[in-house]
């Protein structure tokens, strides 16, 4: 099975195996999924931090501030 690729896609010998590209795409997809999971976790932590910061800023005393942690 032959596949045509854009210029400069192939190695210096001019050929590339389709299976090698599929493996690379699978690895990239896995890394994208991991990256997206990390971004979601960061956003959750950032939201929690903002909520805690707001809670503490409106606290009237130490007990109110401590209650923000729960």
The reported pLDDT for the residue numbered 19 is 73
pLDDT at residue 1 tops 60: no
pLDDT tens for residues 5-54? 666 666 666 666 677 778 888 999 999 999 999 999 999 999 999 999 99
pLDDT at residue 60 tops 70: yes
The reported pLDDT for the residue numbered 69 is 85
DSSP output for 5-69: --TT-S-TTS---HHHHHHHHHHHHHHHHHHHHHHHHHHHHHHHHHHHHHHHHT-SSHHHHHHTT
The reported pLDDT for the residue numbered 63 is 94
């Amino acid at each position: 099975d032959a596949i045509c690729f854009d210029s400069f896609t192939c190695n210096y010998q001019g050929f590339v195996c389709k299976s090698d590209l599929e493996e690379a795409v699978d690895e990239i997809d896995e890394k994208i999924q991991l990256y997206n999971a990390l971004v979601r976790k960061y956003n959750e932590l950032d939201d929690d931090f903002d909520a805690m910061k707001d809670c503490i800023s409106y606290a009237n005393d130490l007990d109110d501030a401590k209650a923000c942690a729960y």
